[in-house]
Amino acid sequence: MLAKLTVQEEIEALLDEDLAKACEKAREHVAENPKDENASLLLMTLVRRFAEAAESRSRHGPSVAPAVAEATDLIAKGDMERAEMLLRQHLKFQRHDPPAMHLMAEIAARCGFREDAERILNQSAVIHAASAEAWASLGRVLHRIACARDYPDYIPRSISALDEADRLSPGHEGALAYKAAILVQVRDLSEGRAAYERLLAVHPHVSAHWMNYAHLIKTIGEFGPAVAAYRTAIALEPTNGAAWWGMANLKLAAFFDEDLRLMAEVLDGDQLTDASRVEINFALAKALDQAKRFDEAARRLKDGNDLRARTHPPDAEMVTGDVNFVTSVFTREYFAKREGWGDPSPDPIFILGMPRSGSTLLEQILSSHSSIEGTEELFIILQLAGEIAHAHRGKQPEEIMAALREDEVATVGKRYVDLAKRYRMTDKPFFTDKNPSNWRYTGLIHCMLPNAKIIDIRRNPLDCCFANYIQHYQVGANFSYNQTELGRYYADYVRMMRHFDEVLPGRVHRVIYDDLVDNTEHEVRRLLDYLRLPFEEGCLRFFETKRAIHTPSSEQVRQPINRSGFGRWRNYEPWLGDLRSSLAEVMEDWR
């Protein structure tokens, strides 16, 4: 009887026959053994060989006229007038240029002329019916219009256009990649995964596609395959900062000596964008922390935070000003005059507070209840606040809040509930919205949804702020990249929430993360009492609940509750002087 081949021998046997299959077998090996150093090194070696063999492939995308490229940038900046002038001039010489026509439609839609946009889009579809590139361009612009103007019916039209591009040119890279991204955005993760797997089957040599696929499968809880996909992306492109940080952001991924060497080498080079340099510094800090080389990790954290703060400066003055405004406007008298206003829906459960305070854990616990659907971090409140400001443009915030009519407040509340339906997948009676930054809109939430529940989850200031300082956010959270600004933000948050404790006593339910970890059942029962729901044992076995989780804590909350994050800042105490100073006023009284 012949001895069974080892995985290593199977891979070696494939090398001469099919390098792509050898890479796939190595990926499977890493997926099954994500913390095996030899498996990871073998995968990265094979993928590099595969990349070298594929270098001869031409990957030049469709050329875009300079005027069209400039107009695209102007539209992104909101300068529709200059963009339109550029495009009209360009179309005099290239009358039916598809990207230019599509941008003209986008300008019309963004300016509120939907019928004109439709006319241009339909005309383009007829003129360029046989062009895959035209259909791909059409799909992209339909999606941008859908996002900019809140036209949800444009999303399926966008996907149909991208499908037509793929039909005309099977394996069309741009169309497949954009379609996959849209499907993930609308949370059709099953179809999104299928789209990415088709994309990777046709274009396996592109680092960005492996990275985005890794982001997706990490979200649905496939830790090992996500590690394998991230490592493939890194092997194809060692300067891919988002892939390095994506793997670090798995929290439980293992780094090896070769990873540390490669990240340091890339950082010493001159081929990185600022964004990638930030990401790789944060990833290397994570790897050094794992190796208990805390002094080196502290230096990399400082480099990453300082660079990000320079490119995206925090604005603590604005946040402090917002808190001052809220505490002066949202008084007992203000709420008393508006009692009974808003939409009566009891469905939403808002989980708010500082990022990295345990909100994902709390959401996972609640979504394990038979009556509660866990959604994600929704940005609907921010959108509605912007719409209110736009409807009352020219007025100061104080004037706007005073001028809001009863019917207007009810309409805003109903609009929130309607918009939230897009993110709901079940018919459970309640759902969570766990966007932490909603704490800044507590007063508005109470006015527009008086029967919604509001939960403030709070964590020890040093644990919470340090967790933010070591976390890289792709967008937002600019306050977290400077220790002084970070401590000030935490203090402003506590000050505002204490204001609502005074003017709306009992309205906001507070959960202390530290207590939730140490006395889980008691805190869960207390929370469910506030929500007026019966206790369910499943809430204590939250780590068994299968659902997509879109936040950095996704892998951590799939584990039983533990104290692993408590006191991590102590390893970095010599380098946290500014943070400790800025937290001085709340250190002894933060609960």
pLDDT of residue 181: 95
Name 348's bridge partners.
Answer: 431
Mean pLDDT, rounded, for 99-115:
89
The band of 473, judged by pLDDT with boundaries at 50, 70 and 90, is: very high
User: Starting from the edge strand earliest in sequence, which strands make up the sheet with 348-353, in order?
Assistant: 372-376, 430-433, 348-353, 453-458, 508-512
How far is Cα 279 from Cα 183, in angstroms, rounded to an integer? 25
pLDDT of residue 167: 95
The architecture that CATH gives domain 316-574 is: 3-Layer(aba) Sandwich (3.40)
Long-range contacts of 217-220 (CB under 8 A, 24+ apart): 217/193, 218/246, 218/250, 218/554, 218/555, 219/189, 219/548, 219/549, 219/550, 219/554, 220/189, 220/193, 220/548
Mean pLDDT, rounded, for 354-371:
94
pLDDT of residue 557: 57
Least confident of 109-123, 404-418, 544-558: 544-558
Q: What is the pTM of this model?
A: 0.87
pLDDT of residue 58: 45
Residue 1 has pLDDT above 70, yes or no: no
The band of 547, judged by pLDDT with boundaries at 50, 70 and 90, is: low
pLDDT of residue 20: 87
Mean pLDDT, rounded, for 248-269:
95
The band of 56, judged by pLDDT with boundaries at 50, 70 and 90, is: very low
Domain extent listing, the chain:
238-311, 316-574
Residue 494 has pLDDT above 80, yes or no: yes
Residue 515 has pLDDT above 70, yes or no: yes
Averaged pLDDT of the chain: 91
Residue 28 has pLDDT above 50, yes or no: yes
Mean pLDDT, rounded, for 492-511:
97
The band of 355, judged by pLDDT with boundaries at 50, 70 and 90, is: very high
Specify the residue for token string 């003209």.
104
pLDDT of residue 117: 86
Query: What residues have CB less than 8 Å from 394, skipping those under 6 apart?
Result: none
Query: What residues have CB less than 8 Å from 58, skipping those under 6 apart?
Result: none
Between 506 and 186, the higher pLDDT residue: 506
Mean pLDDT, rounded, for 485-490:
96
The per-residue pLDDT for range 63-98, each reduced to its tens digit, is 678 899 999 899 888 899 999 999 999 998 888 888
Torsion of CA 488, 493, 494, 500, to 10 degrees: 150
Mean pLDDT, rounded, for 228-253:
95
Residue 458, φ and ψ in degrees, nearest 5:
-125, 140
Residue 2 has pLDDT above 50, yes or no: no
